[in-house]
């Protein structure tokens, strides 16, 4: 049948390549760097740093500075305005727009033809190959893949060029998918690319109601909203009554642990499977290549050359990343990438730890700017999400979103302890019966996964028990909408050493009618 032929075709093209990624990582990265340097030798950037001189990886690291988005922006702005051959040959027409989570200023990341085809599309085919290889009996390609994404619009830097567009990376990818991939997915582009998020979700829910959806792909936060609406429109008890052949969720952007219980409720079928993807506006970095492990295989032949910045270098004025061959297990690193979209030694902002060196597999731990270390506790996003997941499992709760901030020492107070304040939005009808029990499990789990937190919490001497606030359903959507970030891949900052986001969320909560 056609779906089985397509499954075999993508497996034939992808699985041998993934085997090489596992077996020859350093060789692939070395070849890739040489290719990137040769391709960009004639660009402004390439001439500035002597890419045409057949430089080594060590030369590359010595010559080319490590750059944040802000530091690289003067060159990126030239590209946005249409100047050719600045960072990469040619004039990219498409740009992935990301507003980030702590800075309202938009980031615009070039999406070149090479990046689209050898990074985003290649990784998508890899995930398709792995999915059909893992679960051949489910015939995943015989039905539709329901994918959620953002929207795109004119490039404000080139108003005279309608062909130049900016938007959420998912919208950039969907708009340019080949016909065979468009045939596999739903909803149609005219719905998928709507920019008004609430109208979009309503119209998509109505459209997909009677389709044979077998795979979901998207951000858990927004997929939950859509599934609930589909169930309501169908008058069903759960989504399995609407889509009896639904078997797989390809999820990314946020950790899945806090959502696991909620999806068990929405899709109460033991045959439902979950696979994680790790992509961003800057590229497609890693995929879950094992059925029974959530570790992510680093994709080393997808147009991205990797370096890794140790934690003690994150705030250094002249940061010194290490190479792939130099990384160590379980240490935190920030990703530094050089890509065929013209990003050179670019600090993504994401942090990972290696769980395996043969092959290279990682888990996402958070963001360089998203952590709690107000009192020396060094809590990262991975810790917080593990704690929320454990508390949900222990109490039968389901958390839709959360954010955490410090409680600072009160001037003149009799206590010298600080603390953490959590704002948690539970899914409808999924709040814990006892919030204190939820908090106790969360606190204990944080201590179990983070020795610094445990030390600060010892006998309540330096850190008070966490303060939990359950906010009404709809609070975080309302806060995102107020920031102009509702929908797409926008997400709530989990951890910050500032109370700015938490205070704004609590203010929104006070004005938000509950949707329960």
Q: Domains plus CATH for the chain?
A: 116-280 (no CATH), 371-510 (3.30.300)
Query: What is residue 98's predicted lDDT score, i.e. its pLDDT?
Result: 78
How many percent of the chain have pLDDT more than 70?
95
Reported as type and span, the H/E element at residue 446 is: helix 435-449
What is the distance between the alpha carbons of residues 358 and 192, in angstroms, rounded to a whole number? Answer: 39
Helices (H), 105-236: 113-115, 122-134, 169-175, 179-184, 189-192, 197-208, 220-234
Give the predicted TM-score (pTM) of the model: 0.81
Alpha-carbon distances, residue 452 vs 123, 438, 457, 495 (angstroms): 37, 21, 9, 16
pLDDT confidence bin for 99, thresholds 50/70/90: low
Query: What is residue 112's predicted lDDT score, i.e. its pLDDT?
Result: 97
Q: Taking Cα atoms as reference points, which of 336, 359, 337 lies closest to residue 289?
A: 359
Query: What is residue 410's predicted lDDT score, i.e. its pLDDT?
Result: 53
Residue 485 CB: number of other CB atoms within 10 A? 18
What is the distance between the alpha carbons of residues 135 and 317, in angstroms, rounded to a whole number? Answer: 48
Cβ(220)–Cβ(256) below 8 Å: yes
Condensed to tens digits (0 to 9), the pLDDT of residues 103-122 reads 445 789 999 999 999 999 99
Residue 268 CB: number of other CB atoms within 10 A? 12
Best mean pLDDT range from 368-377, 460-469, 487-496: 460-469
Condensed to tens digits (0 to 9), the pLDDT of residues 389-417 reads 999 999 999 999 999 998 875 544 444 57
Query: What is residue 110's predicted lDDT score, i.e. its pLDDT?
Result: 97
Condensed to tens digits (0 to 9), the pLDDT of residues 237-275 reads 999 999 999 999 999 877 787 778 889 889 999 999 999
What is the distance between the alpha carbons of residues 93 and 113, in angstroms, rounded to a whole number? Answer: 9
What string of DSSP letters covers 86-135? SSSSS---EEEEE--SS--S-EEEEE-HHHIIIIIIHHHHHHHHHHHHH-
How many percent of the chain have pLDDT more than 90?
68
Cβ(193)–Cβ(175) below 8 Å: yes
Q: What is the DSSP letter of 329?
A: B
- Give SS3 for 348: strand
Query: What is residue 106's predicted lDDT score, i.e. its pLDDT?
Result: 74
Query: What is residue 412's predicted lDDT score, i.e. its pLDDT?
Result: 44
The span from the first CA to the last CA of the chain, in angstroms, equals 45
Query: What is residue 515's predicted lDDT score, i.e. its pLDDT?
Result: 56
Query: What is residue 53's predicted lDDT score, i.e. its pLDDT?
Result: 92
């Amino acid at each position: 049948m056609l779906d089985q032929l397509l499954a075999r075709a993508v497996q034939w093209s992808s699985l041998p390549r993934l085997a090489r990624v596992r077996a020859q990582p350093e060789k692939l990265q070395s070849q890739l760097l040489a290719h990137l340097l040769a391709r960009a030798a004639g660009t402004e950037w390439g001439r500035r740093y002597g890419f045409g001189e057949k430089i080594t990886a060590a030369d590359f690291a010595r010559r080319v500075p490590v750059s944040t988005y802000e530091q690289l922006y003067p060159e990126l702005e030239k590209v946005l305005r249409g100047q050719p051959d600045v960072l990469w040959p040619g004039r990219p027409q498409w740009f992935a727009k990301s507003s980030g989570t702590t800075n309202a200023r938009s980031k615009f990341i070039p999406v070149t033809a090479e990046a689209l085809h050898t990074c985003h599309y290649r990784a998508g085919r890899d995930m398709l190959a792995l999915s059909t290889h893992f679960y051949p009996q489910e015939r995943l390609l015989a039905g539709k893949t329901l994918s959620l994404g953002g929207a795109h619009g004119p490039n404000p830097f080139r108003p005279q060029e309608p062909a130049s567009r900016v938007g959420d990376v998912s919208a950039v990818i969907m708009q340019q998918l080949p016909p065979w991939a468009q045939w596999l997915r739903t909803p149609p582009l005219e719905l998928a690319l709507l920019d008004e998020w609430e109208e979009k979700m309503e119209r998509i829910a109505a459209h997909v109601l009677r389709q044979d959806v077998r795979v979901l792909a998207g951000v858990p936060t927004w997929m939950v909203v859509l599934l609930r609406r589909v169930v309501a429109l169908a008058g069903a008890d759960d989504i399995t009554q609407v889509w009896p052949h639904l078997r797989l969720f390809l999820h990314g952007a946020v950790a899945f642990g806090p959502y696991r219980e909620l999806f068990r409720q929405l899709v109460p079928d033991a045959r439902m499977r979950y696979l994680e993807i790790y992509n961003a506006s800057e590229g497609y970095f890693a995929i879950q290549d094992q059925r029974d492990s959530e570790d992510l295989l680093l994709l080393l032949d997808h147009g991205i050359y990797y370096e890794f910045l140790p934690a003690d270098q994150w705030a250094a004025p002249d940061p010194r990343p290490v190479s792939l061959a130099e990384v160590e297990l379980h240490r935190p690193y920030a990703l530094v990438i050089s890509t065929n979209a013209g990003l050179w030694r670019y600090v993504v902002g994401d942090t990972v730890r290696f769980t395996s060196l043969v092959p290279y597999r990682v888990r996402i731990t958070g963001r360089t700017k998203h952590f709690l270390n107000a009192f020396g506790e060094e809590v990262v996003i991975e810790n917080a999400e593990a704690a929320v997941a454990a508390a949900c499992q222990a109490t039968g709760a389901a958390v839709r979103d959360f954010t955490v901030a410090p409680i600072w020492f009160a001037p003149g107070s009799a206590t010298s302890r600080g603390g953490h304040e959590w704002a948690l939005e539970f899914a409808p009808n999924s709040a814990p019966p006892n919030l204190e029990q939820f908090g106790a499990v969360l606190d204990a789990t944080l201590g179990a996964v983070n020795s610094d937190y445990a030390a600060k919490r010892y006998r309540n001497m330096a850190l008070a028990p966490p303060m939990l606030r359950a906010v009404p359903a709809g609070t975080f959507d309302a806060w995102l909408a107020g920031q102009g970030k509702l929908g797409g891949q926008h997400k709530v900052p989990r951890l910050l050493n500032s109370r700015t986001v938490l205070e704004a969320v609590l203010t929104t909560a006070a004005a938000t009618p509950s949707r329960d």
